[in-house]
Amino acid sequence: MIVSKHAAELCALLVNDTFGELPSRVIEALLQRGPSRMPQLFERTGLHPPQVRHGLAVLIQHNLAYYNVNKDTKVTTYEANVHSCYNILRIGRIVDLVGQQYGEAEQEVVRNLFSLGYVQIADLAQAFGGHGGGAAAPATNGNGEAHTEVGMNGNSNGNGVVSNKPGSTIQSVFHLHEVIGRLIQFEILEVVDAESFANPETVYAEIEQEYTKKATTAKSLKAKEDLGREKAGMLRAARDRGKVLKRKLDAEDGFPSSKKRKLVNGEANGTPAPSSTKRRVLDSSTVLRINYEKCLVDLRNDRLGRFAADVIGHTTSEVYRALLRLSTTKLSRCKEDSKIDGAYSDMFDDGAKDVTITTLEILESLDPSINLATDIGRVGKSSVDPHIGDHLLQMAVISSTEDAELGLQGGPVKPSRNGHITDDELYSDDEPAPIKASNGQNGSSNGHVKFENVPSTGEQRVELLRRHLFLCESKHRFARYCGTLGEGQWAIDFDVVMEALRQVELDSIIEQMTGRRGLRLTRILRQFGRLDEKVVADKALMKKPTLQGKMAELQKSGFVDVQEVPRDNNRVANRTMFFWYYDADRTCRQLPDRLYKMMLRCLQVLEVERHKVKDILEFVHRTDVKGKEEEVMTPEYYNKYSKHLELERKLLGHTMKLDDIVAVLRDY
């Protein structure tokens, strides 16, 4: 992977912040000079061999570098793992998210794994079991890690690497194993073996090579096909190596409370479900590490949830989050690898394809305290298309009556539902309808139920829920309505939604750099392609001089460009037509690097600021000061210190916001 200068610098800085200078110097050399052997590293870093080895050890421990032993020469090559380096930035966020999504105990485990790198279960157990959490973080230098977390969690006190009281969330070894087992099943953790330290790209390439060689010998078409299938299988096996245990656990119905826990979400806290009588123990020698790919899936869900909240509304976004969660339980990564996922995908059924979720499933997993009656405007029944579901499904025959549909689907389907839901409650005027259902719909009873009082808030909840889901459907295609079973089936086309989100982020950047008019012009160009200046002026209703100024500004920022088309062979300016166009490629190429540089500058400024208050920071890191800064320090000093923390939070917070954009443009 070729890394831009700023990306490399950013990674080195992140490593420096978290793991100290030695690893940082080594990773810098690896990033800038590409894969290297040991002697080359000595030379390139200018460090002593023991220092380099130490640095490498830390890097490998944290999966920041790959190594690869050549089969023939037995020479080891080291290579930087850019993604992990960059992901250091997201550690805090991931820890947070795991806490929200899976519970405190899980959060604790993940937090420790982050500070330990890859680790044996036995060691982890010791770290938890023995003496407090402090012991669990030997490898890091603590300092940087803490700071990373400050920005991301917001709950700063600038010290304390891991939570001060891990014992409280993990009660026993059994509990620990249970938590770990669940995390493995969620794919948040993966199992590490000897081959996990090689760059997967290299591994895939080797497999490819091997089969290309074999393919030349294969004669018949059939043999070639078989080889192709075999290769696809190998690639998958190589990729999913860390998930063998997960599959085993899944097959054995592993840790029983997992499903429930996952569904309840958010509210789940560390207490193990008392009902789980089965006590399983994992092999203590299993080595684990964090699986970033799956973490990214969860982070993406979170981002999309925020997106929905911004575009639609709070309650709808909660519903959407539930849908996201259900749709991605089996999804291992955000982006498919065309090499691996593309070929012969029919051979593998990992359940991640074409996931549809029914409204009832969503209802079941939704936090029951969410008030579904909010955040959608209340309007008269006549103002809403009652057959929106049908229209969406493009049911060819409108005349197919409710009865026919009932017959077909063998269950209540939504046209009937929409036809008679209580307009008083759901479309009432101002107050959030007190739930006092005046009609209910009993299962199979069709269309025109009398409006009688069979109070069933459940029915209403389903209807309200459907309303939110349809709203998701109607904007940016957050969700796709794709069936009528279970009160409606829903799917998420991630590429569609992500494209929308990407566009929104880009638009926002363009707007911020060149104003609303700049945005207007780019959007017009994007919609119509290449346009003559006159036409643009007419469409944008802008004055020529203003327009030319904005265009120049946009061109300078690299968003649009101009194409000259001479009308004759003389190529004189006044016989040339100028077409403006939106340069999507260039925009996408340039932006990430610009963002890296911005993040880098942010962190560099932070470093400078830290240097300025070096004395204070050193002081507060003394063990006798930690935790009681306010008492020990003079007010003047303490004031300075808290100001500095404030500043740190601000800088890191904004770095994270930039990462948000990077993630959308690059990773999700």
Partner 1 sequence: MAAVAPATAPVDEDSKIELYKDALYDACRASGTDQRLFSQQELLDLGAIPANDLTVLKSVLQRLNDERLLILCQGPNGLAFKWREQSEAEKYVQKCGDQEQAMVYSVIDDAGSDGIWSQTIIRRLQMHENVFKAAIKHLIQKKLVTPFKSVEHPNKKMYIKASLRPSEKATGGPWFTDQNLDEAFIEALQSVIYDFIKSKSTYRKGSGVTHRQQPKKGVVRGSVEKVKKRAADQMSTDDPSTTKSSAPAVGAPKERDKEKERDKEKDILLPMPAGYLDYPTVSDIAKVLSKTNITKTILSEEDVQKLIDVLIADDLIEEAFITGRKSFRIVRPTQQSLEGWAVKQGTAGDDIEAGPDLYRNGFTHIPCGKCPVFDLCEPGGPVAPSNCEYFQSWLGKE
Site for partner 1 in 58-117 (CB under 8 A): none
Handedness of CA 387, 391, 397, 403 (dihedral sign): negative
DSSP one-letter code for 196: G
Give least dist CB 247 to partner 1, A.
Answer: 38
Using the CB atoms, write b or e for 390-425: b if 16+ within 10 Å.
beeeeeeeeeeebeebbeeeeebbbbbbbebbbeeb
Using alpha carbons, list the distances in angstroms from residue 126 to 120, 129, 233: 10, 5, 38
Residue 473 touching partner 1 (CB under 8 A):
yes
Tokens 């240097």 found at: 611
Give least dist CB 319 to partner 1, A.
Answer: 11
Residue 399 touching partner 1 (CB under 8 A):
no
Give me the 373-392 binding string for partner 1, x by CB under 8 A, dash otherwise. xxxxxxx--xxxxx-x--x-
Nearer to partner 1, 406 or 595 (CB): 595
Residues 531-590 that bind partner 1 (CB under 8 A): 539-544, 546
Residue 474 touching partner 1 (CB under 8 A):
yes
Nearer to partner 1, 232 or 560 (CB): 560
> Which of 310, 312, 315, 316 lies closest to 507 in space, CA to CA?
310
Amino acid at 283: D
Neighbouring residues of 57: CB distance < 8 A, sequence distance ≥ 6:
none
Give least dist CB 12 to partner 1, A.
Answer: 12
Give least dist CB 542 to partner 1, A.
Answer: 7
Give least dist CB 432 to partner 1, A.
Answer: 5
Beta strands 76-80 and 576-582: pairing type?
A: unpaired
Give least dist CB 377 to partner 1, A.
Answer: 2
Given 349, 431, 568, 636, the residue binding partner 1 (CB under 8 A): 431
Residue 421 touching partner 1 (CB under 8 A):
no
Tokens 């007010």 found at: 635
Give least dist CB 101 to partner 1, A.
Answer: 19
CA distance 199 to 63: 10
Residue 10 touching partner 1 (CB under 8 A):
no
Nearer to partner 1, 216 or 383 (CB): 383
Give least dist CB 239 to partner 1, A.
Answer: 32
Give least dist CB 556 to partner 1, A.
Answer: 10
What's the length of the chain? 668
CA distance 601 to 579: 36
Residue 635 touching partner 1 (CB under 8 A):
no
Give least dist CB 416 to partner 1, A.
Answer: 16
Given 111, 243, 300, 520, the residue binding partner 1 (CB under 8 A): 520
Residue 527 touching partner 1 (CB under 8 A):
yes
Residue 598 touching partner 1 (CB under 8 A):
yes
The footprint of partner 1 on this chain (CB under 8 A) covers a number of residues equal to 79
Given 267, 364, 609, 618, the residue binding partner 1 (CB under 8 A): 609
Q: Is 161 helix (H, G, I), strand (E, B) or coil?
A: coil
Using alpha carbons, list the distances in angstroms from residue 436 to 236, 339, 350, 446, 454: 54, 56, 44, 21, 10
Residues 271-330 that bind partner 1 (CB under 8 A): 309-316, 318
Given 268, 462, 661, 663, the residue binding partner 1 (CB under 8 A): 661
Residues 495-514 that bind partner 1 (CB under 8 A): 504-505, 507-509, 511-513
Give least dist CB 592 to partner 1, A.
Answer: 12
Nearer to partner 1, 46 or 432 (CB): 432
**Are 261 and 365 a contacting pair, CB within 8 Å?**
no
**Are 578 and 563 a contacting pair, CB within 8 Å?**
yes
Given 154, 342, 432, 529, the residue binding partner 1 (CB under 8 A): 432
Which of 140-148, 224-232, 582-590, 592-600 is the region at the interface with partner 1 (rule: CB under 8 A)? Answer: 592-600
Give least dist CB 262 to partner 1, A.
Answer: 21
Neighbouring residues of 10: CB distance < 8 A, sequence distance ≥ 6:
86, 596, 599, 600, 603
Neighbouring residues of 380: CB distance < 8 A, sequence distance ≥ 6:
423, 427
Nearer to partner 1, 282 or 501 (CB): 501
Q: In 142-276, which ranges are E strands? A: 189-191
Q: Is 515 left (phi over 0), alpha (psi -120 to 50) or beta?
A: left
**Are 108 and 169 a contacting pair, CB within 8 Å?**
yes
Give least dist CB 103 to partner 1, A.
Answer: 20
Residues 636-655 that bind partner 1 (CB under 8 A): 647, 650-651, 654
Residue 658 touching partner 1 (CB under 8 A):
yes
Kindly write down the DSSP assignment for every residue of 514-542, as one continuous string.
HHHHHHHHHHHHHHH-SEEHHHHHHHHT-
Phi, psi of 491, rounded to the nearest 5 degrees:
-135, 155
Neighbouring residues of 309: CB distance < 8 A, sequence distance ≥ 6:
316, 317
Nearer to partner 1, 329 or 604 (CB): 604
Given 44, 247, 477, 523, the residue binding partner 1 (CB under 8 A): 523
Which of 263-271, 333-341, 356-364, 593-601 is the region at the interface with partner 1 (rule: CB under 8 A)? Answer: 593-601
Kindly write down the DSSP assignment for every residue of 23-59, as one continuous string.
HHHHHHHHHHH-SEEHHHHHHHHT--HHHHHHHHHHH
Nearer to partner 1, 230 or 660 (CB): 660
CA distance 244 to 238: 11
Residues 334-373 that bind partner 1 (CB under 8 A): 369-371, 373
Nearer to partner 1, 297 or 536 (CB): 536
Give least dist CB 43 to partner 1, A.
Answer: 23
Q: Is 38 left (phi over 0), alpha (psi -120 to 50) or beta?
A: alpha
Nearer to partner 1, 124 or 479 (CB): 479
